[in-house]
A and B are shown apart, each in its own frame.
Chain A
Amino acid sequence: MRRLVLFIPLAIFLVLAVFFMRGLSLNPMERASTMIGQPLPEFSLKRLDAPHQVVTRDDLLGQVFLLNVWGSWCPSCYDEHEYIVAAAKAGVPVIGLNYKDTPEKAHEYLRKMGNPYQMNLQEPEGMRALAFDLGVYGAPETFLVDREGTIRYHLTGVVTETLLNETLLPEVRRWQKH
């Protein structure tokens, strides 16, 4: 009997371990994606290729598009770039949000890597506009916005081949049918 009592600490630990195991499979990033289901925030930003032209939220509505936050300073953006190109080739409009960058470096990046974007918005350093309201805390991040301007999907991190083919493109198709 006394021998059994000695197993109590082990039993408690095992129960805890099961909960931890379960906790790991719960997505810890879920809390960050509070933007899903929210309307795209209002903004007015300059275009990268035409700085005299100002774009607002209403200009983008009416189509299902991807909003991709990038910067020439961000190493991971180079890695995901080919899949952004692939998305554009698959006919998905991609709006770029050039984040914390300078126009010169951004143009250089697009010249070297190719420009898959329908248009690029500029949000330079220190400006608190769209990326700030979207709660962007790093680049790259990608948002899927539907025709009415509601955010339907939010990815923090790099777009990979799997993510593009198995999540992003099907999601885009799904919302295009809506």
Chain B
Amino acid sequence: MHIIELPELGHFALILALCMACVQMVMPLLGTLVRQPVWLAYAQPAAWGQFLFLTFSFACLTASFMLDDFSVAYIANNSNSALPWYYKFSAVWGSHEGSLLLWIWILSGWTFAVSLTRGLPAEILARVLAVMGAISVGFALFILATSDPFERILPRIPTDGADLNPLLQDFGLIVHPPLLYMGYVGFAVAFAFAITALWSGRLDAAWARWSRPWTTVAWIFLTLGITLGSWWAYYELGWGGWWFWDPVENASLMPWLVGTALMHSLAVTEKRGVFRSWTLLLAIFSFSLSLLGTFLVRSGVLNSVHAFAADPGRGFFILVLLGITIGGSLLLYALRVPKVNVKVRYALFSREVFLLVNNIILVVAMLTVLLGTIYPLLLDALGHGKISVGPPYFNALIAPQMILLAFFMGLGPLTEWKQARWQRLRQRLWWAAGATLVFGLVVLPFIYDGQWHFWVAMGMTVTLWIVLTSLRDLYEAARGRRGLAGVTASRWGMILGHLGLAMTAFGVTMVANYAEERDIRMALQEPVEVHGLNFTLTSLEHVEGPNYTAERAVVSVSGPDGAQISVLHPEKRLYAVRRMPMTEAAIDWGFTRDIYVAMGEPLADGAWAMRVHYKPFVRWLWFGGGFMALGGLLAACDKRYRSRVKRSEEAAAVTEVAV
């Protein structure tokens, strides 16, 4: 075996994985049709085989990248012999073909994990695996037919590669796509459980219990992925912004919004047995939006700073996949959701209703983002020309929705299930409400610059409201015999998650209202003042990187008293192969502020145009994302899920499964 045949082996393994996925999809289907339980048993080994072959296939592509095999078109277009090894590694998913292979590999990984679950009735497991196998079949066909990463350029093999897009040559981009895909694809599990529930007609609370931990884990990955993406955009794109309402960002935000709704709705369905059809719909939505995101990014129907794979042929294929998956599941939903109302009753004034209200707000927010994202496409299709919807639209519509969301978010945890008592709620809330109004609306907005701003007041109110109600909830939880030790992991998870959102809200408010941003001319040894700080360009040096050359500025930052705060080294890089200039911003970060310097263009007399930002509390918005993910992790690790295994086994033993 020649090492040079790695791409062919990878390609072959991908085909074998497709065969495995077909078995995984078809055998349980036939098994349930002809009532042959033995056939159901094919699903599990097929899922293992699929994972094994895709892992091998992915390893082949990775190895070919490491060995600089430029006879492979995808590698020739996305790598270079001078690229450091860790970027060769991340270049595997640096563009369309490889990122799809990563997508399907992660899907097979989730499938593998699901196939190892204990305590699921064999028949349910087989059906879930069949649904996931069907998704795999679709994507494997898509890769093999339109986006083969193993295709060779023969006989004229390029001597070197065209290099990885310099924007992607960054640590953030090594981890960001895998995290994001773990999240996207993870929603396929909840989707598969939902389809199974509709298909088998078994719509009891059990499926909510089974899909809950999977949904939470997928949500954690998506949260981390989005947070990291926002952080990357902040320091790498050189504009100092942290969210651009770009179609690709929106494509990740939409499943997140619906996934958040799903996570909460699953809790209600599991605990109270209500909202079943709504939860099913959300499960279908969250994965559908992940697929829609793939379509929007990969088909090139939308213009975006991220779009690096525009191809209508591929777009058509994904659209067909989308039609089958989303259209099919929504049709199944419309036909199979039971008409019978559940007997469980709840009053209008109860935790169920507050959670439902927030679910609806989240879905409305998703629709707002969806409309803004595809509006240019709609207009274009109707022949009204190409326009784009800017951040003003999103900010104007999303901000009020988030305020409403925060209001109910504070109420929810302190309200009882079924029928809340007004007396009790008032007693729990009055001091939080009072403090929020006094400090959030009146006191805090003055602190930073002595002036009252409407949006600062709103932001502070939201932050304080969530923090104070969460603390009150913690107090309620810790009132038991064991105090704080008696608070369950999932309760901690919820509190941390909500506090995380408050941190993000705080960071967003501060940076949106108080950030200072100046484009200035900096000459050597001439201090320039921004936000009371003195910025001095002390020297310029030339730097040779592995695959780029750069001008590096040394900027000294000192306070009003002349004491040096920090020395920053922003760079302007020129990547040799792609001739692409890149801005490496230099950031002095802190809990209360970031000082951000990026190099613009050289001016006459050795001076440079520089962009200087002063960003108060900007870190908090990413810390918030981290806290939310941590909250999710605690919730997913709760002991209940371990003890639950036994219970669902018991349930399986006594439940007659209708085929």
Contacts and interface: CB of A to CB of B under 8 A. Distances in A.
B579 interface: yes
A20 B295 contact: yes
Given A24-B312, A26-B381, A14 B327 contact: yes
The winner among A2, A3, A9, A24 for most chain B CB atoms within 10 A is: A24
Contacts of B386: 31
Interface string A1-36: 011001101100110110111111110110100000
Contacts of B378: 19
A175 interface: no
Given A7-B334, A10-B327, A23 B153 contact: no
A22 B330 contact: no
B327 A13 contact: yes
A107 to B, nearest CB: 17
Interface string B108-128: 000000000000000000000
B315 interface: yes
A73 B162 CA distance: 9
Nearest to B303: A31
A6 B319 contact: no
Contacts of B390: none
* A contacts with B: majority SS: helix
B322 interface: yes
Contact of B156 (A14, A31, A78): A78
Interface string B642-654: 0000000000000
Given A13-B327, A28-B300, A78-B156, A20 B334 contact: no
B551 to A, nearest CB: 14
A10 B334 contact: yes
A17 B319 contact: yes
B377 A20 contact: yes
A24 B76 contact: no
B339 A28 contact: no
B344 interface: no
A17 B322 contact: yes
A75 interface: yes
Contacts of B403: none
Given A9-B281, A13-B327, A16-B374, A23 B333 contact: no
Nearest to A73: B158
A6 B334 contact: yes
Nearest to B311: A28
Given A24-B312, A28-B300, A13 B326 contact: yes
A126 interface: yes
Contact of B312 (A2, A3, A10, A25): A25
A6 B339 CA distance: 10
Given A20-B319, A20-B377, A23-B377, A10 B330 contact: yes
Interface string B247-261: 000000000000000
A24 B301 contact: yes
B579 A125 contact: yes
A131 to B, nearest CB: 10
Contacts of B288: 13
A100 interface: yes
B301 A23 contact: yes
Contacts of B374: 16, 19
B316 A24 contact: yes
Given A3-B334, A13-B327, A14-B327, A19 B312 contact: no
B330 A75 contact: no
A31 B315 CA distance: 18
Contacts of B153: 75
B310 interface: yes
B415 interface: no
A126 B326 CA distance: 48
B379 to A, nearest CB: 10
Interface in B288-339: 288, 295, 299-301, 303, 310, 312, 315-316, 319, 322-323, 326-327, 330-331, 333-334, 337, 339
Contacts of B76: 75
A172 to B, nearest CB: 26
B380 interface: yes
Contacts of A17: 319, 322-323, 327
A6 B334 CA distance: 5
A10 B301 contact: no
Given A31-B386, A78-B156, A19 B327 contact: no
A140 B331 CA distance: 46
Contacts of A26: 301, 380-381
Contacts of B310: 28-29
A23 B384 CA distance: 13
A75 B377 contact: no
Nearest to B285: A9
Nearest to B313: A24
A138 to B, nearest CB: 8
B319 A21 contact: yes
Contacts of B300: 28
Contact of B579 (A22, A31, A78, A100): A100
B325 to A, nearest CB: 10
A7 B277 CA distance: 13
B319 A19 contact: no
Contacts of A9: 281, 284-285, 330, 333-334
Given A13-B326, A13-B327, A31-B303, A19 B377 contact: yes
A75 B156 contact: yes
Contacts of B331: 10
A125 to B, nearest CB: 7
Contact of A28 (B159, B301, B327): B301
A125 B574 CA distance: 12
A78 B76 CA distance: 15
Nearest to B323: A17
Contacts of A25: 312
The winner among B277, B337, B381, B574 for most chain A CB atoms within 10 A is: B381
Nearest to A126: B579
Given A16-B374, A31-B386, A73-B158, A24 B330 contact: no
A25 B383 CA distance: 12
Interface of B: 76, 153, 156, 158-159, 277, 281, 284-285, 288, 295, 299-301, 303, 310, 312, 315-316, 319, 322-323, 326-327, 330-331, 333-334, 337, 339, 374, 377-378, 380-381, 386, 574, 579
Given A9-B330, A20-B319, A100-B579, 5 more contacts: A9-B334, A10-B331, A10-B333, A25-B312, A28-B303
27 contacts: A3-B339, A6-B277, A6-B337, A9-B281, A9-B284, A9-B285, A9-B330, A10-B327, A13-B288, A13-B327, A13-B330, A20-B295, A20-B301, A23-B301, A23-B380, A23-B381, A24-B299, A24-B301, A24-B315, A26-B381, A28-B301, A28-B310, A31-B303, A31-B386, A75-B153, A78-B156, A100-B579
- Enumerate the 8 nearest inter-chain pairs by beta-carbon distance, A residue then B residue, closest first: A10-B330, A22-B381, A23-B301, A6-B334, A28-B300, A7-B334, A23-B377, A24-B315
